[in-house]
Structures are given as C-alpha cells and as structure tokens.
Amino acid sequence: MTVSRPSHAAQGLPKSRLAGILQLIPLIGVMCGRPALWWIFTRLRSVPAAARPRMRCEVMQVAKVTWVALALLTGFSVALEAQGNPDARRAQTTRAELEDLLARSGSNLDPAERLMLQDRLANGDFQVGDRIALIVLQDPTLTDTFTVKEGRTITLPNIPDIALHGVLRSEVQDYLTAELGKYLREPTVEAVAMIRVAILGAVGRPGYYALPAQTLLSDVIMAAGGPVSTADTKKITVRRQSSEFLNRNETQAALTYGTTLDRLNIQGGDEINVGDKSNFTSSVQGVMVLVTAPLTLLWVLSRVF
C-alpha cells in the first residue's frame, strides 16, 4: 500500500522548490512581530465596517500559510543540516532500513524493540493527535495543518478521509501526493509529519508540543524554552504509557550523535522529561529548614520572654 521513499537528507532538496519556500521568510518575520499585530489591528479599525469580515478572513489565511511555512522550514532545516554532514544520522527512517535492521539483528535484538519495529512496519507511525503540515500548490484550501483522527485518518477539505494506517513518516509525502493525485492533476505536495509530545521537567515552558519528526532531541528541549538553571541534561528520559521507553544513557547518546525524533522511534503522546540536578540540594535544604525552624522559634521566644 505504501511506497518506500528516501529521506530528504539522502536525496536533497531541489533548489527551485527550496527557493520558493524561503521566499516566505520575510513574511514570517513580519507576521511574528508585535509591530505587525498592531498594524493589523489599526488597519482593521480604519476600514469600513462592511469590509472588515473579508479583511479578517484574508489576515487569517495569511497567518495560516505562515504557520504552515514555519513548520515546513523547521523540517527542511534539519534535512539541509544533515545533507551537509554525511556522517550524521539521517532524519527519517525508511521502510527498507527498518526491515534491514530486523533482518540483521536476528535474535540479538531486544524483544521489546523487535515488537516496536514490527509495529511500525505493520501499522505505520501516525498516532491520534499527530499533525501533518501540508502545502498543495494547486489548491490553497489544502495548505494547512491537519490532525490525525481516530482510526489514523486525516480529513482534508472537499476530499474523502485519507487513511494513514501503515504509512511511515518517511513515506507520507509520496503517499499523500499519490492520494491527492486521485482528485487533482499532478499535484505538487510538500508534507512534514509532526509528532505531539509532552516536554516536562526542568525546562522553561513545559507542555505539549507538535514538532516535525526530523527535529533533533536537543532542539526539542530548546522548543520548550531550553533547560532551566537547575536542569541536569544527563537526566533526560522518555516515557511511554507510564513506562520508561528511553533511559538516560540512550538520550545522552541521542544528544551526542544528533538523533532525530523519528530515529528515536518517538510516537505521539510520549513524554520527554528533563531531570533536575537540585533534587539532592532541595532535600538537604528541606531538612535544614525542619532543623533550624524550631531553634529559631526557641530563640525568638527567649528574647521575648
């Protein structure tokens, strides 16, 4: 059902295609600034009331395209970085690579990892809540981000639901191109798979984030505001359904070698937790408070009475 597709890092990006995307950078810079928001507000107030709804729609359309372009540029930047470093691990795992890993590892592969790889090959990568940032040049209404629904499907405007069961993230662009080709003539499609993960612990802005699958683990931490002053980046773990999926040593290797979310087999709903190096210090401080508080109270009472 699916087609094997080499990752962007392996095949590179056509310069003309990339140039078209990069032309959106000035627009992104304008739209992301406070002056731009104030300009939009004043413009809306200055136009006649009858024309305001139309202008609001135009502004929302520009903002939507900008958001999608940001997601695509984030994904493309990882591909270009890997392109310049042939020794770096490529951004997305292909079906052939997964099958080869299973065949070569044999009985040496950990049973849990074997099951995980077999599940990826059989059921694909997409989980409910994941997103796909999509640009379709022939139809602007299809340029948006689409959320994976129950049953691993996405709903696009004026097109029947598209099933993603069995599709790997490395295959999604060619797969969607083929699916949209049933309704559009030779569509030009750019697609970036995004994973919804929780980034918790000692980071500046803990919470849920939808990030391109090609994002490096180090960049994932920075997306959540980076490590705080008490963070210990040697204590990063990944949990899946209340069980530890990646331990500290594995995440340290990922930081060292520049491994992407896709290469780490991260799925939607996984929790990335950054540990705190002040746990021991906090405990000692707590004990000191318990010890010194009564002594301080006795001293105060003795001075009063």
Return the CATH number at 236: 3.10.560.10
Q: Which pLDDT belongs to residue 149? A: 94
The answer to whether 186 touches 171, Cβ cutoff 8 Å, is no
Taking the CA of residue 110 as centre, how many other CA atoms within 13 Å lie in the half-sphere pointing to its CB? Answer: 4
Answer yes or no: is 25 within a domain.
no
Answer yes or no: is 297 within a domain.
no
Amino acid at 189: V
Show the tokens assigned to 73: 């540029």
Q: Which pLDDT belongs to residue 80? A: 38
Q: What does the DSSP assignment read for 236-266?
A: EEEEETTEEEE-HHHHHHHHHHT-BTTTTT-
The answer to whether 124 touches 172, Cβ cutoff 8 Å, is no
Q: Which pLDDT belongs to residue 261? A: 94
Answer yes or no: is 67 within a domain.
no
d(CA 39, CA 36): 5
Q: Which pLDDT belongs to residue 57? A: 59
How many independent structural domains does the chain possess? Answer: 1
Answer yes or no: is 249 within a domain.
yes
What's the gap between Cα 105 and its chain centre? 29
Answer yes or no: is 222 within a domain.
yes
Q: Which pLDDT belongs to residue 289? A: 46
Q: Is 212 exposed, middle or buried (CB count within 10 Å of its CB: 0-12, 13-18, 19+)?
A: buried
Answer yes or no: is 206 within a domain.
yes
Q: Which pLDDT belongs to residue 101? A: 86
Q: Which pLDDT belongs to residue 185? A: 92
Q: What's the average pLDDT block by block, 10 residues per block, for the chain (305 residues)?
A: 35 40 41 49 62 59 52 46 37 85 81 87 92 92 93 94 95 96 94 94 95 93 94 94 92 94 92 83 48 50 50
Q: Which pLDDT belongs to residue 253? A: 94
The strand pair at 153-156 and 231-240 is best described as unpaired
Answer yes or no: is 96 within a domain.
no
Residue span of the structural domain in which 269 resides: 194-280
d(CA 69, CA 76): 10
Terminal CA-to-CA distance of the chain, rounded, Å? 86
Residue 185: how many other CB atoms lie within 10 Å: 6
Answer yes or no: is 207 within a domain.
yes
- Cα dihedral 131→133→137→140 (10° resolution): 70
Residue linked to tokens 């903002």: 63
